Structure 1
Amino acid sequence: MNAPATAIRQGRKYEQVLEGARTVFVAMGYERASVDEIARVAAVSKATLYAYFPEKRLLFTEVYRTEILRLADSAIELSGTKPPEIALREAARRFLAYLTSDFAIAMYRICVAETPRFPEIGQAFYESGPELGRARLGDYLRCAQARGQLQIDDIDLAADQFFQLCQSTVCDRILCGVQTQFSEDEMMRIVNGAVETFLARYGT
């Protein structure tokens, strides 16, 4: 499947449409989010919206793809210059902040609910999320390994394990409605635990 952006015409009001759609999807979910409401919140005409995004599904996947790319660009230094104990802690903190955001929670719930009917939503969610995160983190892990700071046989598996460690405690509590807000101390407890566990397994 090609990235959604290949079918999208960007222009003067592209970001405006995306921001309006982001707001509506988070507030209403996918099924209840109408094109009329997205156009109203974005302050554009329906004709303008359709010129950029002929289908609501395409708009949803582009909203998610754009947001997750921002996260990926800021989550870790791809140059690989920082030592693992610093770079991984920074990446984990940013990832956890994203994971507990209203946007991430809404997107995840939409994906779970809509993928049985629209498999392309799940595929786009996976490609722009877990798959992209694995690739970006994998690049850093290879650099750190080349410097002798890590010893990893399976980079992809290690990257997946790191992200799963970062979700400990948080995901289940959020998705079950047990807890929606986390203090800085709670967040750092999870971050430090994830990094220390990862380095205990893969550090040199």
Structure 2
Amino acid sequence: MPDGTNVEIKRGRKFAQVLAGAREIFLRDGFEGASVDDIARAAGVSKATLYSYFPDKRLLFMEMAKVECARQANHVMDTIDRSAPMADILRSVSRQIIDLIMSDFARSIFRICVGESTRFPDLGREFYTSGPQMGRKRLTELLRIGVSRGDLRITDLDLAAEQFAQLCKADLFDRMVFNMADTFTDVEKERVIHGAVDMFMARYGT
């Protein structure tokens, strides 16, 4: 595929179809191993149709990751009971953060971005913007609710959101990244969830 710098993405009838095919192949074969032929075949479209939407493979990968991250972030926000006690909200968010970072999608995208970071640093930057950074913004919105209700006392919401997200990765994330474990029991996850919420509320709870 040619260089897609400054190319405006075209939407159309088969746009979602192309993204679904790209998701399947990128997660299966990685960024470098994913071929245009395989993506087109998985999407059920011609190569000409695929090129008409995405003239550059990097553009296709970044749009696929952005759309999937937005979908997952919206799911988290839509399933949160904002009227619940703050500790309950944080437990629910923590559980979903852990499930997300342990998902096949997140693990594959993380490894692709790290593996291609030297040759294609824009992949990592774009994924951070559309993934972790967007997730932190959504978490900041929830923390702001806690502050407005008097449940939390926070002066730097962005920092607090980052701290909570990192607490949710304690122990599990490093073990996953370094291939020490592929799956974790509910007991292991709940240990991290309760530890994250207890520590966060001890610092910021009123």
With normalisation by structure 1, the TM-score equals 0.92
User: Which of 129, 140, 143 is 1:138 aligned to?
Assistant: 140
Q: Do structure 1's residue 40 and structure 2's residue 38 form an aligned pair?
A: no
2:26 corresponds in structure 1 to 25
Q: How far apart, CA to CA, are the structure 1 residues paired with 2:132 and 2:185?
A: 25
The amino acid that maps onto 1:174 is M
Distance in 1 separating the partners of 2:81 and 2:194: 23
- The residue that corresponds to 1:72 in the other structure is 73
Matched, 1:9 2:14: no
Q: Which amino acid aligns with 1:7?
A: E
Aligned twin of 2:185: 183
Unaligned runs of 5+ in 1: none
Offset at residue 81 of structure 1 (A)? 3.2
CA distance in 1, matches of 2:153, 2:145: 11
Aligned-pair identity in percent equals: 48
1:90 aligns with 2:115: no
Q: Match of 2:21, SS?
A: helix
CA contact (8 A) 1:76 1:88 kept: no
The amino acid that maps onto 2:40 is A
Q: What whole-Å deviation, never above 9, does each CA across 1:157-200 have from its counterpart, x for those lacking one?
A: 10001110111111111111110011222222211111111111
The one-letter amino acid of 1:184's match is D
Residue 174 of structure 1: aligned partner = 176
Asked whether the equivalents of residues 141 and 150 of structure 1 are also in contact (C-alpha less than 8 Å), the reply is yes
Per the alignment, residue 200 of structure 2 pairs with 198
Report the TM-score, using the length of structure 2 for normalisation.
Answer: 0.91
Of 87-96 and 99-108, the range deviating more from structure 2? 87-96
The offset of 1:105, in angstroms, is 0.5
The counterpart of 1:99, out of the listed 98, 101, 110, is 101
Give the drift of 1:79: 8.6
Task: Kindly provide the amino acid, as one letter, of the partner of residue 116 in structure 2.
Answer: E
Q: Kindly state the Cα deviation for residue 80 of structure 1 after the two structures are TM-superposed.
A: 4.2
Q: Which amino acid aligns with 2:96?
A: R
